[in-house]
A and B are shown apart, each in its own frame.
Chain A
Amino acid sequence: MIPVCHLADLPAGESVRLDTTPPIAVFNADGELYAIDDTCTHQDASLADGWLEGCLVECPLHAASFDLRTGAPTCLPARRPVRTHPVTVEDGMVYVHRTAEEDTAA
């Protein structure tokens, strides 16, 4: 369980990047919290820097878009999903529960 930040510090439409290996991006999409692997599966860009619209985040480099709920790319150039991670809030703190590498079915 990785502490992220206070919920109050992650307002709707915002994101934070965790310096884990690999890095994880946590989003507040209109009140719903999501965590995914931060690095775009196309090349090398941080999705925490992306454009958040509803449940989709658009990569800031070549505009691939990922569904935060599933990690699946919804348009090219990305073709592989990013891993998703469960997020919980306890006492106003946001936590990410990292999905183990072997749990991901690509």
Chain B
Amino acid sequence: MKSVTVIGASLAGLYAARALRAQGYDGRLTIVGAEPHRPYDRPPLSKEFLTAPATADGDADPAAEGPLALTDAEELAGLDAEWILGTRATALDTRHRAVRLDTGRTLTTDGIVLATGAAPRRLPGPAPDGSHTLRTLDDARALRADLARGGPARVVVIGGGFIGAEVAASCAALGHRVAVVEAAPLPLVPQLGESMAELCARLHGDHGVALLTGTGVRGLRAGGDGRVTAVELADGRLLSADVVVTGIGVRPATDWLEGSGLPLGDGVRCDAGCVTPIPAIVAAGDVAHVAGARAEHWTSATEQAATAVHNLLAGRTARTHRALPYFWSDQYGVRIQFAGRRRPGDVPRIVEGSPDDRSFLARYERDGRTTALLALNRPRPFMRLRRELAHPSPAPTG
């Protein structure tokens, strides 16, 4: 293999580039990214980035240096890649392994890594000023600026998932009045199951954030100046709002692959080695639907990139991705960590700590076996059990 193109210049794309070089690939490497920024880390965008005081060099691109940067000048020199940033891939010709860019250029290479991630779902209808989604650095900057416009604002967060909850917590920490609207009777049930979701949902109330569940959103109301004034709920209620953040999930960024012939459907369909039906095309990260499942987690994006690249260089699925799913979330000063594969019906059991202290470790069990782990503010025992779950050994040593 003499030339590889990576589409998507974020976490999975960067880790793919790193893995290529680390695995000895010394051919041409091209990385295409729609955003103008160098790879940066998204998780802080809903957490520290929103709450951090403005710095003197606030105008400097924090994706280039600063705490968000995923790479630095030294590493970039070592990667020896051509970076085509601020440029979107618009089509893929699988037969010739050619990627068309919105600049009109076409890149034809031996191998292709698809790492275009995901984009937030939006509410139907117009999005007035003051309404936000949160995926990119530019999104986060716009939200940050809106939150800093004056005194306490009325913030309505639509969607009580992890990102919504983190944004709500950050806004509450900034002194704003926050309400979270969740269509389901309880947020996070699909991820955590009912009883554990209930414990996490209590964090909102602990911090004076209103949680309105079981009602959808009909639309946003705007004033004459085009700024949002209220959120209209499906049950007819109106919630006044100065700032609205919609966090109702993401869609894998596969639009540009329509018509390419690659199997799509909730992401790019790949085998357990992140390989598409065409061995020279692999996928990793939020865009990849790997062996029947799609992950939207930081750790999966990094791990899948290494597997995908290994198989790309091997020309076949030589290695499969079997890592234990893992994610974390920080809300209201509580660190939530989850690992494993929970299925509906698995029974969570608190094995350490207490929900009243917002500090506990729970095991999910099925037929006497542990399937998943959840911890609130219990990083150490969580990590030990997570390792056990990832590498089960009949006779634990050490």
- What is the interface of chain B mostly: helix, strand, loop, or mixed? helix
Contact B299 A50 (CB under 8 A): no
Contact A62 B299 (CB under 8 A): yes
Q: Nearest Cβ distance between residue B47 and chain A, in whole angstroms?
A: 9
Q: Nearest Cβ distance between residue A26 and chain B, in whole angstroms?
A: 15
Compute how far the CA of A58 lies from the CA of B72 in the bound complex, rounded to whole angstroms. Answer: 22
B2 at interface (Cβ–Cβ under 8 A)?
no
Q: Which residues, 1 to 60 on A, are CB-close (under 8 Å) to B? A: 13, 43-46, 49-51, 58, 60
Closest residue of chain B to A44 (Cβ to Cβ) is B48
Q: Which residues, 42 to 90 on A, are CB-close (under 8 Å) to B? A: 43-46, 49-51, 58, 60-63, 76-77, 79
* Given A44-B48, A51-B387, A79 and B379 contact (CB-CB distance below 8 Å): no
Contact A49 B379 (CB under 8 A): yes
The number of inter-chain residue pairs (CB within 8 angstroms) is 34
Q: Nearest Cβ distance between residue A25 and chain B, in whole angstroms?
A: 12
Residues of chain B contacted by A13 (CB below 8 angstroms): 398
Contact A50 B48 (CB under 8 A): no
Counting chain B residues whose Cβ lies within 8 A of the other chain, the interface size class is 20 to 34
B382 at interface (Cβ–Cβ under 8 A)?
yes
Contact B379 A45 (CB under 8 A): yes
Contact A61 B379 (CB under 8 A): yes
Counting chain A residues whose Cβ lies within 8 A of the other chain, the interface size class is 10 to 19
Closest residue of chain A to B384 (Cβ to Cβ) is A51
Closest residue of chain A to B387 (Cβ to Cβ) is A51
Q: Which residues, 272 to 311 on B, are CB-close (under 8 Å) to A? A: 298-299, 302
- What is the interface of chain A mostly: helix, strand, loop, or mixed? loop
Residues of chain A contacted by B382 (CB below 8 angstroms): 60
Closest residue of chain A to B375 (Cβ to Cβ) is A60
Contact A60 B379 (CB under 8 A): yes
Q: Nearest Cβ distance between residue A17 and chain B, in whole angstroms?
A: 10
Interface string of B302-337 (1 = CB under 8 A from A): 100000000000000000000000001000000101
Compute how far the CA of A49 lies from the CA of B383 in the bound complex, rounded to whole angstroms. Answer: 8
Compute how far the CA of A44 lies from the CA of B380 in the bound complex, rounded to whole angstroms. Answer: 14
Q: Nearest Cβ distance between residue A62 and chain B, in whole angstroms?
A: 7
Q: Which residues, 5 to 33 on B, are CB-close (under 8 Å) to A? A: 18
Q: Nearest Cβ distance between residue B162 and chain A, in whole angstroms?
A: 15
Residues of chain A contacted by B353 (CB below 8 angstroms): none
Interface string of B63-85 (1 = CB under 8 A from A): 00001001010010000000000
* Given A43-B44, A44-B48, A51-B387, A62 and B298 contact (CB-CB distance below 8 Å): yes
Q: Nearest Cβ distance between residue B57 and chain A, in whole angstroms?
A: 19
Residues of chain A contacted by B75 (CB below 8 angstroms): 79
Residues of chain B contacted by A49 (CB below 8 angstroms): 379-380, 383
* Given A51-B387, A79-B72, A60 and B380 contact (CB-CB distance below 8 Å): yes
4 extra interface residue pairs, beta carbon distance < 8 Å, beyond A49-B380, A49-B383, A60-B380: A43-B44, A43-B67, A51-B384, A76-B18
Write 23 A-B pairs (CB below 8 A) sorted by A numbering.
A13-B398, A43-B43, A43-B44, A43-B48, A43-B67, A44-B48, A46-B379, A49-B379, A49-B380, A49-B383, A50-B380, A51-B383, A60-B379, A60-B380, A60-B383, A61-B328, A61-B335, A61-B337, A62-B298, A63-B299, A76-B302, A77-B70, A77-B302
Which A residues contact B (CB, under 8 angstroms)?
13, 43-46, 49-51, 58, 60-63, 76-77, 79
4 nearest interchain CB pairs? Answer: A60-B379, A49-B380, A60-B383, A49-B379
